[in-house]
């Protein structure tokens, strides 16, 4: 099979593109608002530094050494454990499950781009809520169409493959996103709300930190770095032999964190400047921000357009990485053509995505509940609290215990040096698995 398809920068941008997504621009700011700011941010940063980066490097290592899809990598890298570990490779499938709602949310962004272009963003909270709720609960047909558009764009890029599609797309969109956010940040720095935003995000107030906030911060750091579902593994499988995993891992984690913080600073500067409450929940980006954009008149329209475009780009680059592991598996292990692999996977999550949309739509939602939750909420919850942590723990245990220590050391010690390697290995064997167990256990009992 073909190897060495990515250039080094291409890989870092593609992996960063996978990591930077709706998690950074939509979820991180609203959760920070919900859980009180600085202290939440601090826990998130500590987790990224001590657990996230280690797992990210472990997953990259598996991808590079395996050079293929997740199932093959698990088999190849610990042949003695073939039977037990081969099954672990099927974690790639979680990506398609995430896509059943992720693609729907990308559809919402398209809708807000449309509202911006037609000058119909809401100008007060009541309108904002009506527009969002109407889309969410009463417009299933529109949502299905927007979801379909997202499916087609993602499928089209995937079909073009690593070099022609994924790398090229990320090489353009990632820098563009950073430029958009930096531009918005520069603009926001002229506001009085800017310094308030900085202290809200970076001065921790520990009285606001409860155990739920800690669990959510830890869980989010997994989600945001795309750990544990084989996305990073699939991308790293196409790395040149000379690529430095340690440095790439640090870069990806840095870019991901930087963009989340940048998005946070921008959004909270706008909110504080124009007097909105930060604790608005998932509607933060879709409800509070548009009102502010409208207040700013023409400039606001431009800012809104840039912001939603940036968000759509971030979402799409992550979406690609969510589907690629399945495509890679079908192509390499099942010998299915790329075209059929791409559109077959796309059809799968498209169809279930429709059920997700219906599960929150008036008239249908009664039939699509799991317990007290809508299918949409149940799947989102399961992904965050169990499926991704499960993937993370499998990778940690696999690299820490099933893989040959000497092989792992050989692959990394020149890049890391002896001391950092020891710390990293300790983290993979003990800290990461225990932390993930703690997270899942607490999510289960909460
Ligand atoms: N990290 C992406 C985000 O922040 C989501 C994602 C998870 C992408 C897992 C790929 C794999 O939105």
The rounded percent of the chain whose pLDDT value lies above 90 is 42
Average pLDDT over residues 246-258: 93
| Any atom of ligand 1 within 6 Å of the Cβ of 32 | no
Task: Give yes or no for residue 3 having a pLDDT over 50.
Answer: no
3-state secondary structure of 353: helix
- Give the CA distances from residue 302 to residues 183, 306, 309, in Å, rounded to whole numbers and listed in that order: 12, 6, 11
pLDDT reading at 2 higher than 70: no
Q: What is the pLDDT of residue 333?
A: 87
Q: Which position has the higher pLDDT, 380 or 422?
A: 422
Cα 40 to Cα 32: distance, rounded to the nearest angstrom: 6
Neighbour tally for 381: CB within 10 Å: 14
pLDDT over 50 at 1, yes or no: no
Contact between residue 10 and residue 264 where contact means Cβ atoms under 8 Å apart = no
337 CA to centre of ligand 1 in angstroms: 26
Q: Is 370 helix (H, G, I), strand (E, B) or coil?
A: strand
Share of the chain above pLDDT 70, in %: 95
The pLDDT of residue 439 is above 80: no
- Ligand 1 atom nearest to CA at 21: 12
CA 170-132-107 angle, to 5 degrees, is: 30
Q: Is the separation of the CB atoms in 173 and 313 below 8 Å? A: yes
Q: Is the CB of 21 under 6 A from ligand 1?
A: yes
**Which is the closest atom of ligand 1 to the Cα of 227?**
9
Q: Which atom of ligand 1 is nearest to the CA of 318?
A: 8
- Choose among 61, 151, 22, 14: nearest CA to 407: 61
Distance (angstroms) between ligand 1 centre and the Cα of 336 equals: 26
State mean pLDDT over 405-417.
Answer: 90
For the Cβ of 290 lying below 6 angstroms from any atom of ligand 1, the answer is no
pLDDT value at 154 more than 70: yes
Least confident of 55-69, 319-333, 366-380: 366-380
Please report the pLDDT score of residue 285 as a whole number. 81
Q: Phi/psi class of residue 205: alpha, beta or left (left: φ > 0; alpha: ψ in -120 to 50)?
A: beta
DSSP three-state, residue 239: coil
pLDDT of residue 352: 96
Of 229-233, 292-296, 426-430, give the range with the top mean pLDDT: 426-430
Task: Quote the CA–CA distance of 283 and 280 in Å, as a whole number.
Answer: 6
> What number is the average pLDDT over the span 216-236?
87
For the Cβ of 24 lying below 6 angstroms from any atom of ligand 1, the answer is yes
pLDDT at 87: 74
**pLDDT band of 252, cuts 50, 70, 90:** very high
Q: Is 326 in the pocket of ligand 1 (CB under 6 A)?
A: no
* Greatest mean pLDDT among 85-94, 95-104, 183-192, 206-215: 95-104
Q: 94 CB under 6 A from ligand 1?
A: no
- Residue 228 backbone zone (phi > 0: left; psi -120 to 50: alpha; other: beta): left
Task: Check if the beta carbon of residue 131 is closer than 8 Å to that of residue 115.
Answer: yes
Mean pLDDT of 109-132: 91
Nearest CA to ligand 1 atom 11: 226
Model-wide pTM > 0.95: no
3 Cβ contact list (under 8 Å, min separation 6): 67, 237, 238, 240, 241
Residue having the nearest C-alpha atom to atom 7 of ligand 1: 226
For residue 419, what pLDDT is reported? 93
Whether the per-residue pLDDT at 215 is higher than 80: the answer is: no
Nearest CA to ligand 1 atom 10: 226
């Amino acid at each position: 099979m073909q190897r060495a398809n990515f250039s080094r920068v291409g890989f870092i941008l593609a992996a960063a593109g996978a990591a930077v997504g709706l998690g950074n621009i939509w979820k991180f700011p609203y959760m920070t608002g919900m859980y009180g700011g600085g202290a939440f941010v601090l826990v998130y940063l500590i987790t990224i530094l001590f657990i996230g980066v280690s797992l990210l490097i472990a997953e990259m290592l598996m991808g590079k050494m395996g050079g293929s899809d997740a199932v093959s990598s698990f088999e190849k890298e610990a042949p003695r454990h073939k039977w037990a570990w081969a099954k672990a490779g099927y974690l790639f499938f979680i990506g398609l499950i995430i896509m059943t709602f992720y693609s729907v949310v990308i559809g919402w962004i398209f809708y807000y781009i449309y509202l911006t272009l037609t000058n119909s963003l809401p100008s007060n909270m009541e309108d904002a809520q009506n527009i969002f709720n109407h889309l969410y609960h009463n417009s299933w047909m529109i949502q299905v169409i927007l979801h379909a558009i997202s499916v087609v764009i993602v499928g089209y890029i995937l079909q073009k493959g690593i070099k022609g599609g994924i790398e090229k797309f990320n090489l353009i969109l990632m820098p563009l996103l950073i430029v958009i956010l930096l531009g918005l940040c520069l603009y926001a720095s002229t506001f009085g709300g800017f310094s308030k935003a900085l202290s809200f995000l970076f001065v921790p107030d520990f009285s606001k930190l409860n155990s739920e906030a800690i669990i959510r911060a830890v869980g989010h750091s997994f989600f945001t770095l795309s750990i544990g579902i084989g996305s990073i593994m699939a991308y790293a499988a196409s790395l040149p032999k000379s690529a430095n995993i340690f440095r790439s891992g640090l870069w990806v984690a840095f870019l991901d964190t930087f963009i989340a913080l940048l998005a946070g600073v921008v959004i909270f500067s706008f909110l504080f400047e124009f007097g909105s409450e930060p604790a608005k929940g998932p509607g933060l980006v879709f409800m509070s921000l548009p009102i502010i954009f409208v207040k700013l008149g023409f400039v606001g329209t431009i800012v809104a357009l840039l912001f939603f475009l940036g968000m759509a780009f971030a979402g799409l680059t992550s979406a690609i990485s969510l589907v690629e592991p399945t495509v890679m598996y079908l192509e390499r292990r099942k010998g299915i053509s790329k075209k059929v692999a791409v559109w077959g996977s796309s059809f799968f999550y498209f169809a279930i995505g429709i059920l997700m949309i219906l599960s929150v739509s008036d008239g249908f939602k009664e039939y699509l509940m799991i317990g007290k939750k809508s299918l949409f909420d149940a799947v989102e919850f399961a992904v965050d609290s169990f499926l991704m942590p499960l993937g993370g723990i499998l990778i940690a245990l696999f690299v820490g215990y099933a893989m040959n220590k000497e092989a792992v050391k050989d692959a990394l010690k020149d890049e890391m040096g002896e001391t950092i390697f020891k710390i990293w290995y300790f983290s993979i064997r003990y800290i990461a698995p225990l932390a993930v167990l703690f997270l899942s256990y607490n999510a289960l009992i909460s």
